[in-house]
Amino acid sequence: MSHSASAFALSRRSFLASAGAFSVAVAFGSSPGRSSPETSFKPNAWVTIEDNGEVTIVGPMVEMGQGVSTALPLILAEELDADWNRVRVSDPPQDERTFGHPTFKKLFGVDTLSTGGSFSVTGYYDKLRLVGAQARKVLLANAAEIWKAPVEELTTSPGTVVHAKSGRKLSYGDIARVARVPDPLPEVGEADLKPRSQFRLIGTDVGRVDVPGKVDGSARYGIDVQAPGMLYAAVLFPDVQYERAEQIDDAAAKAVSGVVKIVNLPSGVGVIADSFEAAVQARSLLGVTWSNSAPARAYDDSQVLQDYRRIAADGSRAGVDMIRTGDADAQIKTARWILAGEYLSDHVAHACMEPLNVTVRVDNGEIDVWSGSQSPTTMKFICAAVGKTSPDKVRIHPQLLGGAFGRKGDGDDMVVALMLALNAPGRPVKTIWSREDDFRNSKPRPLTAQRVEVGLDGERNIVAWRHRIVNESYLARTLPPEVWNQVKADIVTGGHGEVIYGPPSHHRVEWVRSARGVDVGSWRGVAAGYTKFAIETMIDEVAAFKRMDPLQYRLSMLGHAPRAANVLRRVAEMSRFASARDGDLGVGIAYSDDLESHTAVVAQVSVDAVSGKITVHRLWCAIDAGLAVQPKNIVAQVTGGMTFGLGAALTEQLAIRNGVMQATNFDGYHVLRMSDMPLMDVEVLSTDNPPSGVGEAGVPAVAPAIANAVAQLTGKRLRHIPMTPDRVKRALG
């Protein structure tokens, strides 16, 4: 994906299209361009300036703890030269055309307000800089008219236009009192943007705007929504997804005081009541006979994984080529040596701190939704379809998300909530999922089997690399059929299986879809969380076979990739990798280029041979994610990602037997406890490259670094994540 600012150069036509109500301005000095002389000035759709100097900037992405409500407005404020202390952030209007995500537009050809894939800063960086620069030009033009001075003589300092020649200054608030949108509008391109040396905000940690409310309790999440006349709903879901209620005994439930209605849903039975307590009590009294016929009823994850292993090993079953250069199949057949490894990964759940919840009001064909959703646009069109109305009759009110990690973009919670609200027209209905509901309806990371074969020549150099990946598809379920038929390769939702080392001239990565009736989802790090595990542990194995230090072996093949080599060297320095092996402690190293960010991790571990427990004592990470917009926030995001990667590497597994999720709460699903956490050191290397993704960048390299450390310590290779004690004991023999 191109990060060239010129790709988003704003013409007069495109500015008018995005300026909304102010697109009728035709001449400098005319009235359109402000709502009234006493209120505010809008130099474009993204910026509003009050006469007191306060600047409101649209934040187009939803905030779920990743810091976009700070980073994105800050990028615009940099080019606007706004005083950050006077900046406020607003949610975007429901206007996908104006505020939609540039990256998703490129990928899928649609305008959408959707947050995911660590694309927020990467996707909006160039566009927001240009928008900010254009708003600044509008202010300069107005100041020049006020002073009757050449605009070329004017500059800005935070919140102020300066005419150095005369010593005059005008605050943005002063200009806003009389400003008009000029005609013709100023053209803005890459040449109008600040050089990095002049940045005041980008690269400076200003403090996240969402944090104070989270500290003092004033932050409003979806689950906090209250409205006059609100009803509450709870749903009894089947143990197996998509089974339906064939018989319902609801007499006892209806007798509960406060119950308004019992609703038979396509897959579940909902209770609407005047309090959540009443809804939950009535739900517990329902007697339901389920259809017992869903395809998922035959799903047993251990058996499915064995089937996937056979498919991965059976090259005769064709898949979709994700990468194909040269002829890896032929080269491996004639190689002097062949190293092969089978890599398995279990289902893992999102387990968001805030369970799913949606509030919906249906009134005279209009639908209002209050939700912590990753994709307001998706929700709008789902509601229009289910509610049998048009998208313009649907209003989405985005709320803070208490965790998401890919789970809060599907819309299944929205469908359930809307169906219930349709049964109580005119009143808001708040549907809350319990933790048990959340686990029972998980859309986990796909169960996956991989097989990697590496052909080596007589000097043990790589000549060919073949990689087969077998699992179910997330995109096949979530994309419209016409879009899926074009994408098809699935991109395994990230993590194609790229090998940066060399890279091999004969390289084939093949994905085989094997659907088994259980929905899978996008989980933080998505495919890179397991593809990098296979790649980076195999690279370590090749290094050992070649009798080379794993760091030096990697560096020897990265002459073409200096950023990758740089983070590996830096994390080795941070961890003192060459000397960190100490008695009962082993160290391992791994690298990931997921999200176009260069991330290297070193893990220091010990292994209890009796119990099989792996203890991670310390993790070090060096990351080059291009220009660091907010360095401390990158540290926070990478630390969070590493924590996710650690849980998936050691403890988290969502077993499914006969289609039933075996975990129903955290007593059966082991997320990391505080006592499990190692020390973590993260260093951000800000470089003169476009910003790249960080929200998921900390995940992929953790598991292979741990597995490589165990191999260095014990000589045994672990190829199944999570690396549970029983699996470790079997490997140790």
pLDDT of 112: 86
What would the two tokens of residue 142 be? Answer: 């107005």
Q: Is residue 641 part of a domain?
A: yes
In this predicted structure, which of 167-171, 312-316, 573-577 has the lowest mean pLDDT?
A: 312-316
pLDDT of 280: 98
Same-domain status, 175 and 322: no
pLDDT of 68: 94
Backbone angles phi, psi at 645, to 5 degrees: -60, -35
Question: Model confidence at 556, in pLDDT bands (50, 70, 90)?
Answer: very high
pLDDT reading at 620 higher than 50? yes
What would the two tokens of residue 44 be? Answer: 């474009």
pLDDT reading at 33 higher than 70? no
Same-domain status, 269 and 387: yes
Backbone angles phi, psi at 608, to 5 degrees: -85, 110
Same-domain status, 325 and 363: no
Specify whether the CB–CB gap between 624 and 697 falls below 8 A. no
pLDDT tens, position by position, 362-387: 999 999 999 999 999 989 999 999 99
pLDDT reading at 57 higher than 50? yes
pLDDT of 171: 97
Same-domain status, 590 and 610: yes
Q: Is residue 438 part of a domain?
A: no
Count of domains observed in the chain: 3
pLDDT tens, position by position, 566-575: 999 999 999 9
pLDDT tens, position by position, 329-338: 999 999 999 9
The predicted model gives 413-424 an average pLDDT of: 97
Give the residue, 492 or 668, on which the prediction is more confident.
668
The predicted model gives 379-405 an average pLDDT of: 94
pLDDT of 483: 74
Same-domain status, 408 and 266: yes
Report helix, strand or coil for 438: helix
Which residues, 6 or more positions from 151, have their beta carbon under 8 angstroms from its beta carbon? 140, 141, 143, 144
Beta strands in 165-258 (DSSP E): 168-171, 231-236, 245-249
Decide: residue 215, CB within 10 A, 0-12 exposed, 13-18 middle, 19+ buried: exposed
pLDDT reading at 660 higher than 70? yes
In this structure, which amino acid lies at residue 8?
A: F
What would the two tokens of residue 31 be? Answer: 């009235």
Q: What is the pTM of this model?
A: 0.92
In this predicted structure, which of 301-305, 384-388, 456-460, 525-529 has the lowest mean pLDDT?
A: 525-529
pLDDT of 7: 31
Q: How far apart are CA 641 and CA 655, in angstroms?
A: 23
Same-domain status, 52 and 168: yes
Question: Model confidence at 186, in pLDDT bands (50, 70, 90)?
Answer: confident
Q: Is residue 305 part of a domain?
A: no
Task: Say how many residues make up the chain.
Answer: 733
Same-domain status, 682 and 710: yes
The predicted model gives 617-632 an average pLDDT of: 97
Given its phi and psi angles, is residue 543 left (phi above 0), alpha (psi -120 to 50 degrees) or beta? alpha
Strand partners for 470: 449, 512
The predicted model gives 582-595 an average pLDDT of: 93
Q: Is residue 144 part of a domain?
A: yes
pLDDT reading at 134 higher than 90? yes
Domain end among 213, 240, 274 = 213
The predicted model gives 61-79 an average pLDDT of: 95
Q: Which helix (H) or strand (E) holds 590?
A: strand 586-592
Q: Is residue 308 part of a domain?
A: no
Same-domain status, 171 and 262: no
pLDDT of 37: 43
Q: Is residue 258 part of a domain?
A: yes
Same-domain status, 339 and 363: no
pLDDT reading at 118 higher than 50? yes
**CATH code of residue 418:** 3.30.365.10
pLDDT reading at 20 higher than 80? no
Q: Is residue 303 part of a domain?
A: no
Domain end among 379, 407, 432 = 432
How many of the other CB atoms lie within 10 Å of CB of 326? 15
What would the two tokens of residue 540 be? Answer: 């370590």
What residue numbers bound the domain in which 721 lies?
318-347+444-732
Specify whether the CB–CB gap between 225 and 269 falls below 8 A. no
pLDDT tens, position by position, 448-458: 999 999 999 99
Q: Is residue 127 part of a domain?
A: yes
Same-domain status, 227 and 199: no
pLDDT reading at 179 higher than 60? yes
pLDDT reading at 350 higher than 80? yes
pLDDT reading at 539 higher than 60? yes
Question: Model confidence at 478, in pLDDT bands (50, 70, 90)?
Answer: confident
Give the residue, 163 or 481, on which the prediction is more confident.
163
pLDDT of 489: 59
Domain end among 165, 183, 213 = 213
Average pLDDT taken over every residue of the chain = 91
In this predicted structure, which of 22-31, 123-132, 341-350 has the lowest mean pLDDT?
A: 22-31
In this predicted structure, which of 459-468, 496-505, 712-721 has the lowest mean pLDDT?
A: 496-505
Same-domain status, 137 and 257: no
Percent above pLDDT 90 for the chain: 83
Q: How far apart are CA 709 and CA 701, in angstroms?
A: 12
Same-domain status, 31 and 173: yes
Residue whose structure tokens are 């400076």 = 204
